[in-house]
A and B are shown apart, each in its own frame.
Chain A
Amino acid sequence: GNSVTQMEGPVTLSEEAFLTINCTYTATGYPSLFWYVQYPGEGLQLLLKATKADDKGSNKGFEATYRKETTSFHLEKGSVQVSDSAVYFCALSVGGGSQGNLIFGKGTKLSVKP
């Protein structure tokens, strides 16, 4: 079946540190991959996405590259800020119709200290 595994948190970093949150997936077919962010007390927002192998999604200084050979979509940011403190979810979607439903990882909580 389809599944997403992401590193368990919480992750605590100092401001300006480098961030990596690992995400690997198992999927039948060719999934689209997503990172969503959830700020405290809010709903999920799409952070970035990639729809095919070797695509790089980027937004707000975050990047993730779709690696088919390692079935990974790791999230990175070169210099985190306090405002990046949130929960990050990796997700995939395979195909159309009900197959287009998102499958989420369990989320990784990031805390950035000044």
Chain B
Amino acid sequence: NAGVTQTPKFRVLKTGQSMTLLCAQDMNHEYMYWYRQDPGMGLRLIHYSVGEGTTAKGEVPDGYNVSRLKKQNFLLGLESAAPSQTSVYFCASRTGTGTYEQYFGPGTRLTVT
């Protein structure tokens, strides 16, 4: 099993450009998450999904949109990138039962100039 994978690994955008980050998991997990990690801030939840076709806002949702059309995929979109969105983005997933531990992808490093 590949676990949680993220595409791309690195990206540089200009202010105002758009892009989509893809997260895929092969563990049949119900829940999926997008986080951003900034120095000194830990991980902050952007959006999450409790199942196919559902999404919900997390702690810092502004400037991002998400979609979960298929159970195994969770997309994070930036419609008009801003320098404040320069960050490392992590995707995670978990089952709907058990002890709620999440499994993380390797991350996408995004720079907005």
Given contacts A44-B90, A89-B42, contact A102 B99 (CB under 8 A): no
Bound-state Cα–Cα, A93 to B99, Å = 8
Which residues from chain A contact B43 at a C-beta distance below 8 Å? Answer: 44, 89, 104
Which residues from chain A contact B94 at a C-beta distance below 8 Å? Answer: 100
Judge whether B41 is part of the interface by a CB distance below 8 angstroms: yes
Whether A49 pairs with B104 at a CB distance below 8 angstroms is no
B56 partner, pick from A32, A98, A107, beta carbons under 8 A:
A98
Judge whether B78 is part of the interface by a CB distance below 8 angstroms: no
Residue of A nearest to B109 (CB): A41
User: Chain B: how many interface residues by the 8 Å CB criterion?
Assistant: 26
Q: A75-114 interface mask toward B, CB cutoff 8 Å, 1 = contact, 0 = none?
A: 0000000000000010001001110111011110000000
Residue of A nearest to B105 (CB): A43
Q: B20-34 interface mask toward A, CB cutoff 8 Å, 1 = contact, 0 = none?
A: 000000000001010
Given contacts A43-B90, A44-B90, A98-B48, contact A51 B99 (CB under 8 A): yes
Given contacts A43-B107, A44-B90, A97-B50, contact A102 B42 (CB under 8 A): no
Whether A106 pairs with B50 at a CB distance below 8 angstroms is no
Whether B99 pairs with A101 at a CB distance below 8 angstroms is no
Judge whether B106 is part of the interface by a CB distance below 8 angstroms: yes
Mostly, the A contact residues are mixed
Q: A23-53 interface mask toward B, CB cutoff 8 Å, 1 = contact, 0 = none?
A: 0000000001010100000111110010100
Q: B79-99 interface mask toward A, CB cutoff 8 Å, 1 = contact, 0 = none?
A: 000000000001010101101
Bound-state Cα–Cα, A105 to B40, Å = 10
B104 partner, pick from A43, A51, A106, beta carbons under 8 A:
A43
Interfacial residues, chain B to chain A (CB-CB below 8 A)? 4, 31, 33, 40-43, 45, 48, 50, 56, 58, 90, 92, 94, 96-97, 99-107
